[in-house]
Amino acid sequence: MDNEFKPTAFDTQVSLHELQMLKTMLPYIEWKQQKTLAVMIKYMELQHTARIFSASTPCMQICEITDSRERMQQMLEDLSEMCTEKEKENIDTLLNMFQMFSTYETLFS
């Protein structure tokens, strides 16, 4: 598992440039004020998230994938990039099972 932060699609959607600047400033602020600033940043992110999801159109969707099985497979593949080796093994097992079921359906339908 890589310890570097890799922003997800959700992070990209809810993170504003101004909030990233505040997050960058946080370690340089006097420690007594860091908690207040950190809570304020998270609150602002929460407000922005609520605004995004209150829109009448979907804001986060893999539009080109319409098949629910394909979506599940893609989600598991993306998720495995963030996992430990044991978690990756479990996801690979699930992906192999999905592939076997798909092959079985194709052969016997």
pTM of the model: 0.61
> In the prediction, which pLDDT does 105 show?
80
CA proximity to 40, closest of 17, 12, 24, 19 = 19
Domain interval for residue 38: 9-53
Give dist(CA 93, CA 80) in Å, integer: 11
Looking at the domain assignment, is residue 3 inside a domain? no
pLDDT tens per residue across span 14-34: 888 999 999 999 999 999 999
Query: What would the mean pLDDT of 74-87 be, rounded to a whole number?
Result: 87
Residues 73 and 46 in one domain: no
Number of domains in the chain: 2
Kindly state whether residue 2 falls inside one of the protein's structural domains.
no
Asked if 47 and 73 sit in the same domain, the reply is no
| Length in residues, the chain | 109
At 1 the pLDDT is 45
Q: What is the pLDDT of residues 42-66, one digit of tens each?
A: 999 999 989 888 877 666 555 566 7
- Looking at the fold, whether 13 and 49 belong to one and the same domain comes out as yes
